[in-house]
Amino acid sequence: MFNLKSLQRNKTVKYGVPMLLLVVGGSFGLREFTQIRYDAQKIRRKLDPSLEAKVNVQRQSTVLQEEYEKMKELNLEEWKNIRGPRPWEDSREYQEQQRTRQDRED
């Protein structure tokens, strides 16, 4: 009985042990919760097998030399820079303006 009362009065037992349990237990708890998060992200990232096969084929077939050949064939002399709509502008209205300008120029 004497030992129990002396332990209850001891500041290390009263404050230190619960704090240590909170820190160590919190570490393990956070590890479990973050693992759930990463597992959920992996599930969301999984693609349909047929779509994944198409994506992989496209990645493998693209070669730098082929892209260079495509760029050589482009006519860059007639290229025109067209400004996109601002966030406060109506995009449909702006697209119509661009189309009418382009029709007048042609």
**Residues 3-47: pLDDT tens digits?**
878 777 888 888 888 999 999 999 998 999 899 888 888 887 776
Is residue 65 very low, low, confident or very high in pLDDT (cuts 50, 70, 90)? confident
Residue 63 belongs to a domain: yes
Is the residue at 19 inside a domain?
yes
In a domain, 39, yes or no: yes
Assess if residue 68 is contained within a domain.
yes
Confidence band of 64 (pLDDT split at 50, 70, 90): confident
Domain holding 11, by residue range, is 2-77
> What are the pLDDT digits (tens) for 85-94?
788 877 788 7
Q: What are phi and psi of 39, to 5 degrees?
A: -65, -40
Residue 16 located in a structural domain: yes
Number of domains in the chain: 1
Residue 66 domain-assigned (yes or no): yes
Continuous H helices in 46-90 = 49-61, 64-73
Continuous segment of H or E residues that includes residue 3:
helix 2-9
What is the C-alpha separation between 84 and 91, in angstroms, rounded?
A: 8
